Amino acid sequence: MQCIYLLSDDIDPKIQNFRAHHDPLGKLIGPHVTVVFPFKLEISEVSLKNHIQQKVEDLLSIKAQLGEIVEAKDGYVYFAISKGARQINTLHDSLYSGPLECALLDREYIPHITIGRAPPGETAGIMISAGNLHTETRFTLTKLVLERIGDQGESIPIAQYDLSRGPA
The domain that holds 55 is classified in CATH as: 3.90.1140.10
Q: What is the DSSP string of 71-122?
A: E-TTSEEEEEE-TTHHHHHHHHHHHTSGGGGGG--SS----EEEEEE-STT-
pLDDT for residue 152: 81
Bridge partners for 5 per DSSP: 34, 145
Report which residue type is found at 130.
Answer: A
- Could you state, in chain order, the average pLDDT of each consecutive group of 10 residues for the chain (168 residues)? 94 95 91 95 92 92 95 94 96 96 92 95 92 92 93 88 68
- Count of domains for the chain: 1
Give the range of the structural domain holding residue 151, as residue numbers without chain letter: 2-167
The model carries a pTM of: 0.92
CA angle 100, 103, 106 (to 5 degrees): 130
pLDDT for residue 13: 94
